[in-house]
Chains A and B, each alone.
Chain A
Amino acid sequence: MRRADPQRLQDAISGVIKDSPIGRKFRGLTLAADQGDDDDSLIRVVVRVSEMEDVSDDDIDALTSSIEHAVNRHDDRFPSVRYSEN
């Protein structure tokens, strides 16, 4: 199973977010491999944004899909993408 260098993943995902419609609201990113009992086939991707109020559903869905594709180019773990306002 492929595992990407964490910094490489971080850079790839950040690039996708900055190029997206929510790029100006982007405040940071947290990546965390699964620490659960099942296996290590999951990676949590938490996207921190300043606010979500005027972000459309379509933009969120498209960005989530783009992040998943970006991760899959480098890493076989499934990225579960979440959004956090702060």
Chain B
Amino acid sequence: MSTFSDDLLRASSRLLGRRKGQKGPLKGAYVRRSISTTYYALFHFLIDETAGRLVGSGNDLRQRRRLFIRTLSHAGLTTTFGKLKGATIDASVVDLFRLPSVAAGSVPTPPFLQQVATAYLDARAKREDADYNLSEPLSETDARQLRRRVTRAIGAWKAANTASDRDSKHALALLVSLRGQLRS
């Protein structure tokens, strides 16, 4: 069964389709809707993953997951992923991601998390311009490139299944629920 996120990715692709014989550039509205839809595909994928890890993934918990998801925000995810975009995890949240067996010091950002983080930041930036800032040019190339990037990032997340990866995903879910901020 396809997820809401899968359906949004399909919709973003359809918005970039051409009728038989159609040539020339796509209308800006289609390009911008596609970019926005791609962003929401990643956003919903991430908040579903977060809720599944922190609330539980059982069918009987669906209502509880939805209530929890309503507390998550775009700004919270942006803050979170801004701290995971680099080669090492931001010092302000590194303790959350450090395994108990690992000594103090910097912690490399797991590649799949860095891939998701940069995809999210790029998608968020483009979605803001697509929806609200018509003076910023966005092209069909941008829409297609973003869709490929988000698709790959979701694939990398799904493929990351070692014990260490699962621990990182759980730490990420906690950080998302805390809007990207830890008290010192």
Interface residues of A (CB under 8 A from B): 34, 36, 38, 41-42, 44, 46, 52, 55, 57, 60-61, 64, 68, 72, 76, 78, 80-85
Pairwise interchain contact B137-A46, C-beta atoms closer than 8 A? yes
What is the 8 Å Cβ interface bit string for chain B, positions 34-73, against chain A (1 contact, 0 not)? Answer: 0000000000000000000000000000000000000000
Cβ-closest chain A residue relative to B25 = A85
Pairwise interchain contact A78-B82, C-beta atoms closer than 8 A? yes
Separation in Å of the B92 CB from the closest CB of chain A?
12
Interface of B is mostly: helix
Interface of A is mostly: mixed
Docked complex Cα distance between A82 and B139 (Å) = 8
The yes or no answer to B145 lying at the interface (CB within 8 A) is yes
The yes or no answer to B167 lying at the interface (CB within 8 A) is no
The yes or no answer to B154 lying at the interface (CB within 8 A) is no
Given contacts A38-B78, A41-B82, contact A83 B125 (CB under 8 A): no
Docked complex Cα distance between A66 and B128 (Å) = 23
Which residues in B have their C-beta under 8 angstroms from that of A72? 86
The yes or no answer to B18 lying at the interface (CB within 8 A) is no
Docked complex Cα distance between A60 and B144 (Å) = 10
The yes or no answer to B126 lying at the interface (CB within 8 A) is yes
Q: Which of A44, A78, A83 contacts B141 (CB 8 A)?
A: A83
Docked complex Cα distance between A68 and B118 (Å) = 9
Separation in Å of the B26 CB from the closest CB of chain A?
12
Separation in Å of the A17 CB from the closest CB of chain B?
14
Pairwise interchain contact A78-B148, C-beta atoms closer than 8 A? no
Q: Which of A44, A55, A85 contacts B125 (CB 8 A)?
A: A44
Which residues in A have their C-beta under 8 angstroms from that of B98? none
The yes or no answer to B156 lying at the interface (CB within 8 A) is no
The yes or no answer to B138 lying at the interface (CB within 8 A) is yes
Which residues in A have their C-beta under 8 angstroms from that of B126? 80, 82
Pairwise interchain contact B118-A78, C-beta atoms closer than 8 A? yes
Which residues in A have their C-beta under 8 angstroms from that of B7? none
The yes or no answer to B95 lying at the interface (CB within 8 A) is no
Which residues in B have their C-beta under 8 angstroms from that of A36? 128
Mind listing 19 A-B residue pairs with CB under 8 Å?
A34-B125, A38-B78, A52-B141, A57-B145, A60-B141, A61-B145, A61-B148, A68-B118, A76-B86, A78-B122, A78-B125, A80-B121, A80-B125, A81-B122, A83-B139, A83-B141, A83-B145, A84-B139, A85-B139
